[in-house]
Amino acid sequence: MRELHLLLLPILGAAVAKMAVGALWYSNALFFKPWIRMSGITEGQVKQGLPKALVVDFIGSFLMALVLFHTIRWSGARAVVEGLFVGFLNWLGFVAVATVSTVTYERKPVKLYLLNNGYQLVSILVMGAILALWA
């Protein structure tokens, strides 16, 4: 197995970028209102659970960036387009497939799946570009 050195700064940068994309994506300016309507929770519930949710989301974002960092390094991606491609493949093979059960089994609206997975796709593409250039 190839030895890979852990570069903390690019991984943290990618995790913070994912959180920033999420803050914009789920803001009132973009998709907060449709997300609230389709998810079946209230604004009060969102505000009440926000501190804990942000901590959990940051940990998840860090882990996702860590795994994507290794995938990008192993693939040899060093350009934005290559990072975007590796990010897209990871989103398609893991995120999109793993979350489709929210539609098929949980009977959540397809629009909610598309809204949430749109965020995941955009954030993974951003992280892929950052990590390919920075790592």
Express each pLDDT in 85-95 by its tens digit: 999 999 999 99
pTM of the model as a whole: 0.93
Measured from the Cβ of residue 60, the count of other Cβ atoms closer than 10 Å reads 13
How far is C-alpha 102 from the chain's CA centre? 17
The owner of tokens 């793993």 is: 98
The owner of tokens 């192993």 is: 74
* AA identity, residue 102: T
* Average pLDDT of span 115-122: 98
